[in-house]
Structure 1
Amino acid sequence: MSDILCSFETLLFLGCLPWYFVASGIWLSLKHIQSLPLISSDGDSSYPRLSIIIAARNEAHTIETALKSVLAQNYPNLEIILVNDRSTDKTDKILEKLAEKDPRVLIHHVEELPPGWLGKVHAMQQGFLKSTGQWLLFTDADVHFQEGCLDRIIDTAETSSVDYLCVVPEVQARQNLLRALYTVSLSGFFLTTRIWEVKKQNAFVGVGACGLVRRSLLEKSPGLPWLKMEVVDDLAIAQLLWQSGGKLDVYWGRDCLGVEWYPSMGDLIRGLEKNLFAGAQYQYWRALIGIIGILFIAVAPWLSIFAGNWLLSLTAVGAFSVYWLAWIPGNKVQRVGLLERLISPLLLFVVAWALARSTFITWRQNGIRWRETYYSIANLRRGQRLRF
């Protein structure tokens, strides 16, 4: 009996250790990644041609206010390419209305999706083909840009001679639970991408809200057609450019651009439906290991605290403490309150549920349904390019 108890306590001890690893990843990320710089006083006063490419499908509820923030930018050598991807709501009418008032705007309507393409990636490719800029900024239809943001992004890219620059936006969330869950999501993002290694060119990272690409490198690479069935397109583009020899960089953009994450917890769970199983490379065994692993890491410290072993309890309390302390500098990235930090470990159960749900739904329908379009799991597996 004592041997069984000892083995159980050893297992709990091992379940506490990942929290120290997560905390170190958070600390390294916050330490090594800086906020997007202001315009350098001795920066190049020339303005290279910039093409903003926005793919939109049924975004009538968010796109007008977001686009107005783009149109308010004073960057002088700018074109804005809006790709309406088969929208069935009033998105096309909103785009046309905005285009009438601004000659920088070009609209392209996609009427039909060719076989073998994801809708969003195809729309991005159409925007690329219409563009003329030396720099291409891929962004989403719900991202809000602050005044002067484009100048800062281009100035930083030109000054540091990078080929791909992404800016992590500040995420607004209406509920404490959503804000807490976003800190959990960021923690996973940090560890998965090893974002602190990007400046050393030992890793890659991409952000859908703001990914600036040097056109010449994208043209030399296999390009977006290579990613035509890739669900996680932002990270896959970064990987593509990194593997093509590009120099990458990443900055926090709290005072530069923002986006609302999801209006509610239900919207979040549904929104992650297409992504989480993709993160398991569409393999059921990987998803199962992920679910079990997340649940084990979530429950181990709590069981350890009440296990009656003072050393084990101390290890568990230390695990939570270093995780909470690692987030103290997090306000330079995201407004993270004390309450959100304290409750975020509990939300690993939500992450496990979301992954299980994503896996089950994909299995049940033998694929994913994204923006009213069905994609089979066989085609998704064949077309997936993202690898960590």
Structure 2
Amino acid sequence: MMLLILSIIGLALAALFAAMCVVNLSVLRPPEGTGGDAVSILIPARDEAGNIGAALDAALGQRGVELEVVVLDDGSTDGTDAIVAARAESDARLRLVRGAALPEGWIGKTHACWQVSRHARHPVMLFVDADVRLAPDAATRLSGEMTRRGLDLLSGFPGQRTPTWAEKIVIPQIFTTLLGYLPLPMARARPDPAFGAGCGQLMAVRRDAYTAAGGHAAFAGRMHDGLELPRRVRGTGGRTDLCDATPVATCRMYATPRQIWDGFSKNATEGMATKRALPVWTILLFGGHVLPFLTLIAGLVAGAAWPVALSALACAMVLGARMAMAVRLRQSWLSVAAHPLGVMVVLAIQFAALWNAGRGRRAVWRGRDYGIG
């Protein structure tokens, strides 16, 4: 009887995920605007000598829109600033700004974004991480889409480059939580700040809306700018939305298992890893994405027909939704085959982050450590 109950629970949770994915994939579209307002591409950079050259090539290669590119060097020690300075000598559209020391209570990237924003000259500011590679029409499509739809902020996750097995298994879980549990039609219909979401890797915002929301200074001590800025913009009456940024940008987020763990951990306590949220996320993710596979195995061993049938249907729903996601977002098939493992890794990171926060341990990122929790 218990196995049957667990099979029913897993099926219900799997169906919730699959249905939400179908709805969200049907409404999440690439930006299709053209023209639009002039764009300031803003790149905060700290020790990005291996990345900044390609990032500048992509940013300065934009077509169809008036633009400038401003790089904020945030105390780099690897020559990042010299690379940008040399490039700026031959291209008047590029400027290098040297960042000030990190004030008490600020997060490094948040402070860098705040500083570079104050040097933007154009109506639309496009914040781009140094590891993001923009397609040649990215700026015009994003700015044009904002104009076409009357948006104040438009963001999206770039297509994620995942050459290693660890990246293939874990990185796509970002989209599992986003497309599986954020009701995009409702987020668009309601101005509630709680529905605000974005990706800090690629975020376009109107300068006047940014200023009205207090910019990055409004959440100086918070890491998760992808959530904080859209919510602040909505809180001051602005309109925000998510788009499918796969065709307009790519990014290799983290290159090693250690970087994946640390990168997911650094802002975990601003998302899932809280005492209130993590139990809910555990039910949704473990119950809907791992439990059906466990009950299927248990049912086969026990020879229990109904648990096997219900669990098999649940597994098919989860994997079918993941296949649709993989095709649409150009993800590896390994990410589909190893989906339950990826979910377990993400949950392990969240529980570790909550444990560390409760013991006052500090998050470390880019050579800086921060209190967490």
Q: Residues 1-388 of structure 1 correspond to what in structure 2 (within 5 A)?
A: 6-7=1-2, 9-37=4-32, 39=34, 48-201=37-190, 203-280=195-272, 283-284=274-275, 286-287=277-278, 290=281, 294-295=285-286, 297-305=288-296, 306-307=298-299, 308=302, 309-330=304-325, 333-377=328-372
For residue 118 of structure 2, what is the amino acid of its counterpart?
Answer: L
State the distance in 2 between where 1:15 and 1:213 align. Answer: 40
SS of 2:244's partner is strand
State the distance in 1 between where 2:270 and 2:316 align. Answer: 32
State the distance in 1 between where 2:233 and 2:293 align. Answer: 42
State the distance in 2 between where 1:302 and 1:370 align. Answer: 35
State the distance in 1 between where 2:177 and 2:209 align. Answer: 29
Residue aligning to 1:384: none
- Using the TM superposition, give the Cα deviation of residue 83 of structure 1 relative to its aligned residue in structure 2, in angstroms: 0.7
State the distance in 2 between where 1:8 and 1:148 align. Answer: 53
Residue by residue over 1:352-372, the C-alpha shift from the partner in whole angstroms, topping out at 9 and shown as x without a partner, is 222233334444553322222
State the distance in 1 between where 2:328 and 2:53 align. Answer: 26
Structure 1, unaligned stretches of length 5 or more? 1-5, 40-44, 382-388
Deviates most, 324-333 or 163-172: 324-333
SS of 1:273's partner is helix
TM-score where L is the length of structure 2: 0.89
Q: 1:185 to 1:76 in 2, by over 3 A?
A: closer
Deviates most, 8-17 or 225-234: 8-17
Q: 1:30 to 1:300 in 2, by over 3 A?
A: same
State the distance in 2 between where 1:98 and 1:67 align. Answer: 9
State the distance in 2 between where 1:25 and 1:229 align. Answer: 33
State the distance in 1 between where 2:116 and 2:261 align. Answer: 30
For residue 234 of structure 1, what is the amino acid of its counterpart?
Answer: G
Q: Percent identity?
A: 22
Q: 1:369 to 1:16 in 2, by over 3 A?
A: same
TM-score where L is the length of structure 1: 0.86
State the distance in 2 between where 1:328 and 1:295 align. Answer: 19
State the distance in 1 between where 2:219 and 2:332 align. Answer: 38
SS of 2:104's partner is coil
Deviates most, 81-90 or 135-144: 81-90
State the distance in 2 between where 1:163 and 1:31 align. Answer: 23
State the distance in 2 between where 1:218 and 1:38 align. Answer: 21
Structure 2, unaligned stretches of length 5 or more? none
Q: How many residue pairs end up in the alignment?
A: 366
Q: 1:38 to 1:320 in 2, by over 3 A?
A: same
SS of 2:197's partner is coil
Q: 1:13 to 1:177 in 2, by over 3 A?
A: farther
SS of 1:55's partner is strand
State the distance in 1 between where 2:327 and 2:272 align. Answer: 31
Deviates most, 350-359 or 192-201: 192-201
- Using the TM superposition, give the Cα deviation of residue 236 of structure 1 relative to its aligned residue in structure 2, in angstroms: 0.8
- Using the TM superposition, give the Cα deviation of residue 122 of structure 1 relative to its aligned residue in structure 2, in angstroms: 0.9
Across the aligned residues of Structure 1 and Structure 2, the Cα RMSD in angstroms comes to 2.5
State the distance in 1 between where 2:187 and 2:275 align. Answer: 30
Residue by residue over 1:284-331, the C-alpha shift from the partner in whole angstroms, topping out at 9 and shown as x without a partner, is 565467557755555422332123332222111111111222244435
State the distance in 2 between where 1:88 and 1:68 align. Answer: 22
For residue 123 of structure 1, what is the amino acid of its counterpart?
Answer: A
| Contact 2:169 2:341 survives alignment (8 Å) | no
Residue by residue over 1:207-246, the C-alpha shift from the partner in whole angstroms, topping out at 9 and shown as x without a partner, is 1122111111222223321111111111110111112111
State the distance in 1 between where 2:16 and 2:93 align. Answer: 47
- Using the TM superposition, give the Cα deviation of residue 124 of structure 1 relative to its aligned residue in structure 2, in angstroms: 0.8
SS of 1:144's partner is strand
State the distance in 2 between where 1:62 and 1:160 align. Answer: 33
| Contact 1:170 1:333 survives alignment (8 Å) | no
State the distance in 2 between where 1:18 and 1:197 align. Answer: 20
State the distance in 2 between where 1:365 and 1:172 align. Answer: 34
- Using the TM superposition, give the Cα deviation of residue 10 of structure 1 relative to its aligned residue in structure 2, in angstroms: 1.9
State the distance in 2 between where 1:156 and 1:76 align. Answer: 13
